[in-house]
Amino acid sequence: MKSKNFPIILLVIFSLIPIIRWASLEPLALRFTDFNSTMTSFGQITGLLGMTLFALNLILSNRTRFFDKLFSGLHHFYNFHKWLGSLSFSLLLFHPLFLVIKYLSISTYEAALFLLPNGYNLAVTYGIVALLGMIILLGITLYFKIKYHLWRFSHKFMVVIFIFAILHSFLISSDISRDMFLRYYILFFSLVGLSLGSYRAFFRLLFNKDYEFTVKKVNVLNDNVLEIELAPTKETMQFSSGQFIFIRFVGVGISSEPHPFSISSAVSENNIKIAIKSLGDFTSSLGNVKAGTIAKVEGPFGNFYENKDKKEIWIAGGVGITPFLSMARSLKETNKEINLLYCLKNKNEAVFLNELEKISSEKKNFKVFSWFSEEKGFITGEAIRQISNDVKNMDIYLCGPPVFMKMLQSQFIKMGVENKNIYFEEFNFL
């Protein structure tokens, strides 16, 4: 619990500091004397908060193993980034609306002029450019489904928008320009946000921080499942089973943005393997990956497999078998009982079943079951109880399509399983 709330607590502290400072600069009675000054004060608060949160969110554009741990999972981290971005955007949308009110009390013409860019006052114009840019880019992010690599490219320009926002907040006469503390506080967050944001968006590639691997072999397992084996070019990567990595393939016919994949090989091997089912544009284009293709790998991330001293059931839906493959392949002799349930449409899809059954025959406490939905219908919590004799008092690991995981989770909870005993791999966050 503590670690889950920690980022929120930090966020509240970071955003309260400038507000408290702002409130102490002048007696609050003066800030809220009449309707106009109250609205202006709200305008200042929304601007100050929106800017602080924007800067913090740029810092949070960097997926790092530190954030992976701090947020207990990269998908929580990304959800937080999305949530914080929406919050900051909403605040900044209200920023000019609150400020325009005092001009409305002069005339609607004055108010209209305030909302339009003009050559006399660059500071305001920068602010308008920044807000318009945000409306366009975040409008795309929130309301239009465009191709992932196009969205990813467009989203990098949030950094450019942030530069306009910084220019606006420092050139305009305000409490930021009047008060040294506020000025340095906002300046500090702006510069950290700007440098980390532009590092992630534009300069990261120059530093070559990724592990480099070369595709050694591409195994076509069936019509739409591939297994790719990667050999480290220089240094090997340490990981634990159940973790995932971001891979960027450098080659013709493959889009060059990174995508997340669970590692499916054993931790003891130097080469890493990933299994891919062609679902979208990108995974389909992976047919162009050949032996010799360079793969840049970022990671490893995630802490899916807790490996507690408790009976376990692993439930895989389709290609969701990948983290369990790594876990099974890395399995040492244990005293705890582990059941793996591999859920698929039909036998043709069960590409890893033979290998898993072989591991099961070698390890006495590891049992493998399969479930074909074309024969028996969708898997249910009740069916799982029958297979494993019990569902309570054990750790349940789920990896598969989101609907599959949600449905089983709610059934398990109805059957009296505690939510903390259910673990998910949610790598569908992108």
Partner 1 sequence: MKKITTVSLFIFFCVVTAILTAGLVFYQNKKSSNLGVSTNTSTQKDLTKLIATGVQTLSLVEIGKHNTQNDCWLLISGKVYDITSYFGSHPGGSGTMVATCGKDATDAYKTKDPYATTAGNNTAHSTRARNLLDNYYLGDLNQKIDQKIIEQNIQKIKSNPLPPNTGRGDDEYDD
Give 253: exposed, middle or buried? Use CB within 10 Å, 0-12, 13-18, 19+. exposed
String of b and e for 278-308 (b: at least 16 CB within 10 Å)? beeebbeebeebeeebebbbbbbbbebbeee
Size of the site for partner 1 (CB under 8 A): 61
Quick check: 52 binds partner 1 (CB under 8 A)? no
As a whole number of angstroms, the distance between CA 351 and CA 353 comes to 6
Of residues 118 through 137, those in contact with partner 1 by CB under 8 A are 118, 120-121, 123-124, 127, 135
Quick check: 106 binds partner 1 (CB under 8 A)? yes
Binding-site string for partner 1 from residue 55 to residue 94, where x marks contact by CB under 8 A and - marks none: ---------------------------xx--xx-xx--xx
- On whether the CB atoms of residues 48 and 176 are closer than 8 A, the answer is yes
Spell out the residues 6+ positions from residue 363 whose beta carbon is closer than 8 angstroms to its own.
331, 333, 334
Quick check: 187 binds partner 1 (CB under 8 A)? no
Quick check: 241 binds partner 1 (CB under 8 A)? no
Q: Specify the residue, 256 or 428, whose C-beta has the smaller distance to partner 1.
A: 428
- Among 16, 15, 13, 18, residue whose Cα is nearest residue 182: 18
Applying CB under 8 A, which of residues 5, 24, 108, 386 lies at the interface with partner 1?
Answer: 108
Quick check: 24 binds partner 1 (CB under 8 A)? no
Applying CB under 8 A, which of residues 21, 37, 426, 430 lies at the interface with partner 1?
Answer: 37
- On whether the CB atoms of residues 273 and 216 are closer than 8 A, the answer is no
User: How are beta strands 312-317 and 338-344 bridged, if at all?
Assistant: parallel
Quick check: 354 binds partner 1 (CB under 8 A)? no
Q: Specify the residue, 131 or 321, whose C-beta has the smaller distance to partner 1.
A: 131
Return the HEC string of 391-403.
CCCCEEEEECCHH
If one counts every other C-beta atom within 10 angstroms of the C-beta of residue 240, the result is: 16
Q: Which stretch binds partner 1 (CB under 8 A): 173-181, 265-273, 337-345, 351-359?
A: 173-181
Binding site for partner 1 (CB under 8 A): 26-27, 30-31, 33-37, 40-41, 43-44, 47-48, 82-83, 86-87, 89-90, 93-94, 97, 99-100, 102, 104-116, 118, 120-121, 123-124, 127, 135, 138-139, 142, 168-169, 172-180
